[in-house]
Amino acid sequence: MAPLVPRMHVFEIADFPWFPNFLRAYFQAALTAAWTTHVPILQSSSPASLVAGLLTTHLGDNRTETNIHDYVFIDFCAGGGGPTPSIERHVNIDQQRENIELPEPVQFVLTDLHPHVELWSQAATQSPNLSYVRESVDASRAPRDLTARYTRQGKKKVFRLFNLAFHHFDDALARRILRDTVEGSHGFG
């Protein structure tokens, strides 16, 4: 069955390998600002805050059987960091603010095919619950040792994050990424 609305495959000029890295950093900073800025007249809160609320609502907090603390969130297309550091802060700080007894903070991991270690290390200094993988990670063939370090002995479930990243992929690559996600994760969004 054909989709009602065809999937969009668009590109950003910063996706091209010839695009200067120093300009790519400005593009990524602008995207991060769009995710993390709250415009009071137009929004009830920032998009990153809304995503954090959705994750907590749909995965549950420490008072429910399904528990967000059972997951580690791995952003497989983190770019320059995007909304993930802000989502992490909202998930962990909002639960502390609600006086929810936390078994441990929720962990978030940044990865990308083209890692931005300098930006990620700056973000990781702001929270002990945010880490990153220095090496290139292909979302269509995620290293099993990456997910296994969190799932050993049933310790955690892996939830893969893709924050508005799928427009970068053609249909064939998008299928490979989704297949690998379904085969190697417990959830994705």
Domains of the chain: residue spans and CATH: 46-188 (3.40.50.150)
Radius of gyration of the chain, Cα coordinates, nearest whole angstrom:
17
pLDDT given for residue 26 in this prediction: 75
* Residue 170 in this model has a pLDDT that exceeds 90: no
Residue pair 152/114 in contact by the 8 Å Cβ criterion: no
* Residue 174 in this model has a pLDDT that exceeds 80: yes
User: What average pLDDT does range 64-83 have in this prediction?
Assistant: 84
% pLDDT > 90, the chain:
23
Of residues 124 and 113, the one with the higher pLDDT is: 124
Summarised one tens digit per residue, pLDDT across range 4-48 is 666 565 666 676 778 787 777 777 777 777 666 667 776 677 878
Confidence grade of residue 76 (pLDDT, cut at 50, 70, 90): very high
Which residue type does 7 have?
Answer: R
Q: What is the mean pLDDT of the chain?
A: 81
Confidence grade of residue 109 (pLDDT, cut at 50, 70, 90): very high
CA 79, CA 24: separation in Å to the nearest integer?
A: 10
Residue whose structure tokens are 């929720």: 106
Residue whose structure tokens are 């989704």: 178
Q: How many other C-beta atoms lie within 10 A of the C-beta of residue 15?
A: 13
Confidence grade of residue 176 (pLDDT, cut at 50, 70, 90): very high
> How many CA atoms are closer than 13 Å to the CA of 126, on its beta-carbon side?
14
Summarised one tens digit per residue, pLDDT across range 77-100 is 888 888 999 999 989 886 666 556
> How many CA atoms are closer than 13 Å to the CA of 169, on its beta-carbon side?
18
pLDDT given for residue 132 in this prediction: 96
User: What average pLDDT does range 139-160 have in this prediction?
Assistant: 85
pTM for the predicted model, two decimal places: 0.83
